[in-house]
Structure 1
Amino acid sequence: MMQEQMRTALRCALQGAKLPFTEQEPLREHTTFRIGGPAAFWCTPQNTEQLQDTLALCRKNKVRVYLLGNGSNTLFADEGFDGAVVELRGLSPEVTGTPEKEDTVLLTAGAGMTLGRLCAEAQQRGLAGLEFACGIPGTVGGAVYMNAGAYGGELKDVVEEVTFLDETTTLRTLPSDKLQMGYRTSIFEKNPSWCILSATVRLHRGDGAAILARMQDYLERRKAKQPLEWPSAGSAFKRPEGAFAGRLIEECGLRGFTVGGAQISEKHCGFVINKGGATCADVVALTEEVRRIVLEKTGFVLEREIRVVK
């Protein structure tokens, strides 16, 4: 637990540096699950310099940090986060494009930009390759962090390079072949103190109308099959090798299984939804029981895709 001396020291340091922050910010307001207690410090840097200064002050004062994008894959503890949550959505400058060849264009977007906005920018420029990501509710930074994917596509298929701050807040850039991007993982997951600033994707020229049609098709499929009308964190479990998590859960008779305010969606068994008043404890208990039953009945081990932050 953060000592009052540490809390006071960081508060004074942030105020002295004129960095934007608040205290005791309810985290349920900043995640798609709508669950979580307060953050001791809620920091909202608006540019790279403010981010570097904020991170440096947190580390100098030995206050732990959690980097947050759109909060679409995060479940905060009911007690909250006794440290500094640094929101990265302020780091979303305009998309910049660089023609590389006649049919290839590189687009660079800030880590805080939503994937939806980046996909819209690509479509408006007549650039194909990102259609699969148009309905993923995260930010560019979060998508790179976990190598987000859908409908047969993944970020690793299009990422050219990523710029970030390392554990010393030094600015660095890594090319795609150094990012260790695999199924729902990357080098950034293995180095959580690194902070993604921007990503460059390689797209190819296409027909804007055809690109829009593909995006609309993916969005309609999501709307038809996923419980988008309820708060959730997207897919609750990673796909086990040789099977699909949602199908295994359904086969075990767990459609609609409920603990407190948390429920396995009746629309899609791969989702855990907040039916109203769900707590972090409810979600954790539900997912652990689902894991136990699926292992017992099928032999498959399910791994949570949702990041639980305590």
Structure 2
Amino acid sequence: MNRLVEELLEANVGKVWENEPLANHTTWKIGGPADVLVQPRGKAEIIACMEIIRKHQTPYHIIGRGSNLLVRDKGIRGIVVKIGDGLDHLTINDTQVVVGAGFSFIKLATMMGKRGLAGLEFAGGIPGTIGGAVYMNAGAHGSDVARVLHSAEILFEDSKVETVSNEDLKFSYRTSLLQKERKGICLEATFQLEHGEREEITKKLAEHKNYRRKTQPLKQPCCGSVFRNPKPHSAGGLIEESGLKGFQVGGAQVSLLHANFIVNVGDASANDVLTLIEHIRKTINEKFGVDMHPEVQVVGEE
């Protein structure tokens, strides 16, 4: 590992930390240390970084802003690559928008609304980066990435950089090709938007943001929605009906605002969260006969 770190520093790929607590890099403020955390400063540096990782055959994980992510308490062995600053470029060509994977999804939605470009109104309150949104087909308010994405530039494990079409990304509910079949890193995304009435778009964005502000615990450390909606049911509705709002394990609590959120109310551990998730799943299955599936990604050493 020492030699790998030396090569990353020699290649000047970006910031490099050793034994860095991932609680500092997740929205839940939970997570043990990464052996090595590297934040490449641009596309070329990501490619160089991945070449060094492959050369040393070191296990790795990719993160963005750390939403929708639970890192176990013992942390992550190997390397964590953080996509953020340096991969936040933006180019607008009429209704087509090319944006780096490290760009904030909320910020993009807001900027496009002000320009009178419609299609991203649903994203006005979704935390995280463009790369994460493509990876998990992020969505809300009846729409998702699959409806507006034209294509994405992906760095695959074999070092090939390919532009992959919407169709070939095989989107479905909160999933994509990158989760199931071909592991890869989203470098940038191209969205196909359309002209609309700026006032109408910004009004809809504001409505979505206000709704989230009133109904979701955005001022507390959380990861976003914990469970996929078991259609035709609502995950939050089932949890609330089961009487679990406010239920707490250690520092992890089912939000009093929205039952499909688990909040860190004080030094919660990953084990607290996992225990609470399992309790929710068991309770819902016993009461309603419904299987609950987390949409949060759980990584790290057990």
- Which residue identity lines up with residue 37 of structure 2 in the other structure? W
Indicate the SS of the match to 2:35.
Answer: strand
Give how far 1:12 is off: 2.2
Indicate the SS of the match to 1:52.
Answer: helix
* Contact 1:91-1:197 within 8 A present in 2 as well: no
Which shifted more, 135-144 or 7-16? Answer: 7-16
Give how far 1:192 is off: 6.2
- Which residue identity lines up with residue 64 of structure 1 in the other structure? P
Query: Where does residue 227 of structure 1 map in the other structure?
Result: 217
2:119 equivalent to 1:129: yes
Give how far 1:247 is off: 1.0
Query: Where does residue 64 of structure 2 map in the other structure?
Result: 69
Query: Where does residue 14 of structure 1 map in the other structure?
Result: 8
Distance in 2, matches of 1:15 and 1:137, equals: 31
TM-score by length of 2: 0.96
Distance in 1, matches of 2:29 and 2:138, equals: 21
Indicate the SS of the match to 2:102.
Answer: coil
Cα 1:147–1:225 shift into 2, 3 Å: same
Indicate the SS of the match to 2:40.
Answer: coil
Indicate the SS of the match to 1:44.
Answer: strand
Indicate the SS of the match to 1:236.
Answer: coil
Cα displacement string for residues 146-184 of structure 1 (whole angstroms, at most 9, x for unaligned residues): 110111111111000011101122110111111111100
Give how far 1:199 is off: 0.6
- Which residue identity lines up with residue 13 of structure 1 in the other structure? E
- Which residue identity lines up with residue 218 of structure 1 in the other structure? H
Count, aligned residues: 299
Query: Where does residue 177 of structure 2 map in the other structure?
Result: 187
Give how far 1:58 is off: 1.1
Query: Where does residue 207 of structure 2 map in the other structure?
Result: 217
Aligned to 1:41, which of 29, 36, 43?
36
Distance in 2, matches of 1:150 and 1:92, equals: 25
Give how far 1:81 is off: 0.9
Distance in 2, matches of 1:192 and 1:256, equals: 39
Give how far 1:138 is off: 1.2
Distance in 1, matches of 2:158 and 2:164, equals: 16
Q: CA RMSD in A?
A: 1.2
Give how far 1:244 is off: 1.0
Cα displacement string for residues 244-302 of structure 1 (whole angstroms, at most 9, x for unaligned residues): 11111111111111100001111111111101110000000000011011101110000
2:26 equivalent to 1:31: yes
Distance in 1, matches of 2:106 and 2:232, equals: 30
- Which residue identity lines up with residue 70 of structure 2 in the other structure? L
Cα displacement string for residues 91-112 of structure 1 (whole angstroms, at most 9, x for unaligned residues): 434321223xxxxx11010000
Percent identical: 38
- Structure 1 alignment gaps of length 5 or more: 1-6, 100-104
2:161 equivalent to 1:171: yes
Aligned to 1:280, which of 270, 273, 277?
270
* Contact 1:106-1:203 within 8 A present in 2 as well: yes
* Contact 1:91-1:113 within 8 A present in 2 as well: no
Query: Where does residue 102 of structure 1 map in the other structure?
Result: none
- Structure 2 alignment gaps of length 5 or more: none
* Contact 2:217-2:258 within 8 A present in 1 as well: yes
Aligned to 1:92, which of 87, 105, 111?
87
2:100 equivalent to 1:110: yes
- Which residue identity lines up with residue 160 of structure 1 in the other structure? H
Distance in 1, matches of 2:182 and 2:24, equals: 23
2:257 equivalent to 1:267: yes
TM-score by length of 1: 0.94
Give how far 1:136 is off: 0.2
Query: Where does residue 154 of structure 1 map in the other structure?
Result: 144
Distance in 2, matches of 1:14 and 1:33, equals: 28
Cα 1:75–1:192 shift into 2, 3 Å: farther
* Contact 1:36-1:80 within 8 A present in 2 as well: yes
Distance in 1, matches of 2:287 and 2:210, equals: 33
